[in-house]
Chains A and B, each alone.
Chain A
Amino acid sequence: MQLATKRVTKVAAPDNQLNRPSPALYVVLIFVGISALLPFVWMLLASVKSFGDYIFVDFSTAKNTLRSFWPWVPIGTDGPAFGNFAEAIRRIDLSSTFRATEGYPLFLRQWMNTLVVAVITVAGVLFTSAFAAYAFSMLEFPGKRVLFILVLTTLMIPEELLLVPRVIMMYEPLRPEQAAGVDAIIALIPRFGWQNTLAALTIPFLASAFTIFLLRQYFLQVPKDLFEAALLDGAGHLRYLAQIMVPLAKPAMVTTGLLQFIYAWNEFKWTQLVTRDLPQRTLSVSLQNFLQTDGGAEGQLAMAVAAMVVVPIIILYLFTQQYLVEGVSKSGIK
């Protein structure tokens, strides 16, 4: 009986094969897979090598090749140098004028900073977008069309065009005596004085036209009858949004939230421009600074810092890859 059903499903299932997979394909795939992973593996191995082992890269003999990857016992005499992580963190402290006055290292502070920035932007974007998407899909109000077109228009404005003016908007506000001497039009530019603050890294990124658009598409698919039923149960718009719409749009919220988190974690350009003091900076900028100082000379320490930047995001990815890969392949979002 079981066999019979199995055969039926097999026949009914769409046959996507162009031909039977040949062993050669597996060889190609394994080669490509190794190429994709090798830099990560190399980074992790190098991050716990001593400097001497780090510069030993020789593939001329099998023994040396093995040692280039794995210099530790039983091939070598030492164990992995896990102290590299602590040493790298210490060097980041030393390389800056910032002293560990607050009792914990600069790198840890930057790590936390990055996490806070990422969490705030993700939460902010999902919050503002869910409300806006709800208004655009469920409520009637004058100016709905115009405002929606406005949102779609901002979708087309490239971030790069906004970089320089946004930096100027982060400048210190003009003092009254300065404002008098400044050109009237230039004086109109709002200056928030957020340079070097958490506000500069989060507030400009709390809304996303793309997320609004995506969530609106989801909300529109929910039958209106559901709302009528909820209304009879005494629910208002707020409760309907929180208890029905948001759970229904969970796949979209998770995918965009994750991509937003990854984007914030990896962000570099903007943070480099609007932060000056090291404690305010995030991991990507910290890593780049380190590469130009100690990390440039001692590759194993650079790898240790890179690993501390990358590994959390890889772990997050491994737990959520189902959502991410599916979400991206379906909607083609970037």
Chain B
Amino acid sequence: MSSLARLAPRRQGAKRKRNEAILAYAFLAPALVALLVFTILPLIIGFVISLSNFRVVFRDWVGLDNYVRALAPDSELWPALGATLTYSLISVPVQLFLALLLALVLYQKLRGRAIFRVIMFLPYITSTVASAAVWARLYSPDTGLINAIIRSVGGTPQKWLLEDGGVFQIVASALHITNWPTWLNGPSLAMVAVLIYTTWVFVGYDMTIFLGGLGNIPSEMYEAAKIDGAGIWQLFRSITLPLLSPTTFFLSLVTFIGSFKAFNHIWVMTEGRNGTNTAAIETYRQMYQFQRAGYASALAFLLFTAILVITVLQQWYGNKRVNY
């Protein structure tokens, strides 16, 4: 009896601990079950499916055939990856450059900059399906706003989203240059139209992040450099740019990954026609139009291997260059 009494506080402590653990598991259960069932499990299923010939129903196991087919020289993947790379390699630098420029302007004490920030963020929060539908009409060859502007200044109206021809080729033919080499055609005008739209959507978001980064740079550094007689360009080169590099690095990573996955607006504007059939579009088409679940899964895994490799390379390069 007395030994039990002495044990009581200890047992109470153990009981409290056990109760706390039970409570913790109860708190965690909804989130963990949802993550397990709808994130971890699908990842495994996705890989299993990619080894099979699954079209609406399971047919048979094909091993790595889907991967072999996707990586074959004549597969749809290569032109699609080419389109994705074109999209990414143009959209990321253009977006970041314009966003940085705007952020630098807005960082100054300008009247109405708060309103401007709100306006610039607006395209980012609206449905890309809706805004892409609006832009598709702005690009309309006959009744579009953009061609109307071009006509009013005496330019040649373009087919924009319906144009398969390369931009450089179009410029060359406008300048009456014959024998323009095909390899210099450049991205299709449809792709450029999609890129302009992409910039419109994301530049405000990138700018907002850049503004956050600029706010973290201590103003004393500028003061000190100004006393030393540094000019605007020197301030930018030796203070702003290096101290902003973590933000720039973060943004380039996020926009790059985003550009690899870009889907909604391309689908609405062109459905992958006219040189805009990116890898993300191709993967979706395999599932949505052809119901090839196995092949689509294999494509998805390959696409994300590509993203992973590029991200790791970027990270590695960034660690060498970024000043933290």
Give CA–CA (A40, B135) in the complex, Å: 10
Taking the complex as formed, is A104 at the interface, i.e. its CB lies under 8 A from any CB of chain B?
A: no
Closest approach, in angstroms, between the C-beta of A122 and any C-beta of chain B?
A: 15
> Among the listed A42, A162, A283, which residue makes an inter-chain contact with B42, where contact means beta carbons less than 8 Å apart?
A162
Chain A residues positioned under 8 Å from B296 (CB to CB) = 164
Interface contact B30-A131, CB-CB below 8 Å:
yes
- Shortest A235–chain B CB gap in Å is 14
With A18-B108, A29-B110, A299-B137 already in contact, the answer to whether A266 and B129 are too (CB < 8 A) is yes
Q: Which of chain B's residues have a CB closer than 8 A to the CB of A253?
A: none
Our pick among B39, B129, B145, B283 for the contact of A157 (Cβ within 8 Å) is B39
Given contacts A59-B149, A169-B42, A328-B208, is CB(A39)–CB(B135) below 8 Å? yes
Q: Does B62 touch A at the CB level, under 8 Å? A: no
Q: Which residues of B contact A72 (CB under 8 A)?
A: none
Residues of B within 8 A of A190 (CB): 37, 41
Q: Which of B21, B108, B134 contacts A306 (CB 8 A)?
A: B134
Task: State in angstroms the CA–CA spacing of A128 and B34 once bound together.
Answer: 9
Q: Which of A79-87, A91-99, A105-113, A139-147 contacts B (4 or more CB under 8 A)?
A: A139-147
Contact indicator B145/A168 (Cβ below 8 Å): no
Mostly helix, strand, loop or mixed at chain B's interface? Answer: helix
Within the complex, which residue of B104, B123, B288 is in contact with A273, where a contact is CB–CB below 8 Å?
B288
Chain B residues positioned under 8 Å from A288 (CB to CB): 129, 133, 267-268
Do A207 and B34 contact each other (CB < 8 Å), given the known contacts A160-B300, A266-B129, A288-B129? yes
Interface: B68 (CB within 8 A): no
* Complexed CA–CA distance, A59 and B153 (Å): 9
A132 and B127 within 8 A (CB): no
Residue of B with least CB distance to A291: B133
Number of A-B contacts (CB under 8 A): 301
A62-79: CB near B (< 8 Å → 1, else 0) gives 000100100000000000
* A139:B20 contact, CB within 8 angstroms: yes
> A135 interface residue, CB < 8 Å from B?
yes
- Number of chain B residues close to chain A: CB under 8 A: 104
Residue of A29, A151, A329 ringed by the most chain B CB atoms within 10 A: A329
- Measured between alpha carbons, how far is A142 from B140 in the docked complex, in Å? 61
Residues in chain A within 8 A of chain B (CB atoms): 14-19, 21, 25-26, 28-29, 32-33, 35-40, 42-43, 46, 54-55, 57-60, 65, 68, 127-129, 131-132, 134-136, 139-142, 144, 147, 150-151, 154, 157-158, 160-169, 182-183, 185-186, 189-190, 203-207, 209, 212, 237, 262, 265-266, 268-269, 272-273, 283-284, 287-288, 291, 295, 299, 302-303, 306, 309-310, 313-314, 317-318, 321, 324-325, 328-330, 332, 334
On B, residues with C-beta under 8 Å from A are 17, 20-21, 23-25, 27-28, 30-32, 34-35, 37-43, 45-46, 48-49, 52, 54, 58, 61, 102, 104-110, 116-123, 125-131, 133-138, 140, 142-145, 148-149, 151-152, 200, 204-205, 208-209, 211-212, 214-215, 219, 222-223, 232, 235-236, 247, 250-251, 254, 258, 261, 263-264, 267-268, 280, 283-284, 287-288, 293, 296-297, 300-301, 303-304, 307
Supply 7 further A-B pairs (C-beta < 8 A) apart from A18-B104, A132-B30, A306-B130. A16-B222, A18-B235, A40-B134, A140-B21, A141-B24, A161-B46, A204-B38
21 interchain pairs, CB-CB under 8 A: A15-B222, A18-B235, A21-B108, A32-B120, A131-B27, A150-B40, A160-B283, A161-B43, A162-B38, A162-B46, A164-B49, A185-B48, A204-B38, A266-B264, A268-B267, A303-B134, A310-B127, A313-B127, A321-B118, A330-B212, A332-B251
